Amino acid sequence: MSSLRDIDALAAQVKTEFGTINALFVSAAIPGFAPFESMPEQTYDELFAINAKGPYFTVQKLVPLLAEGSGVVLATSAASALSVPMLSAYAATKAALRSMTRTLASELLPRKVRVNAVSPGPIDTGVLERTLPGRRPSRPRRSGSR
């Protein structure tokens, strides 16, 4: 979600239904598999709109509803710290969230709102199969499995 109008509508709905909230988990992203040399500007802009702008303004619009002592968690990605071919723009959006987390943690500290980030690896949501045919995310093995 990167439309400020949609984010405002979300904030209004949350306020109507809940009044205040104790936690906010922001996890929205699209991948953008393309070699650096051929990344289309439109794809780059869409990645930053959804993966960085959307979370930024979602937190901004919902912060007034956060109770003192509440927490915000932004979902970044392990890709922001790794060198994964064909994910340069995606990784940059997730690195932006890591940086945003640090700054927001400082800015929201006086309100006693904690801000943290989680950086998971690939999650089997189906998006990888739809956007990068022939490739599936690796799944961790359960202990005791062969």
- What CATH number corresponds to the domain at position 14? 3.40.50.720
Tell me the pLDDT of the chain averaged across its residues. Answer: 82
**The tokens 């780059």 sit on which residue?**
44
- Residues of the chain scoring pLDDT < 70: 1, 78-82, 84-86, 121-146
Give residue 63's domain range. 4-121
Tally of structural domains, the chain = 1
Please report whether residue 131 resides in a domain.
no
Round to whole Å and give the CA distance between 71 and 24: 6
Q: What is the pLDDT of residue 143?
A: 44
Please report whether residue 73 resides in a domain.
yes
Please report whether residue 135 resides in a domain.
no
**Catalytically annotated residues:** 90
Round to whole Å and give the CA distance between 33 and 53: 19
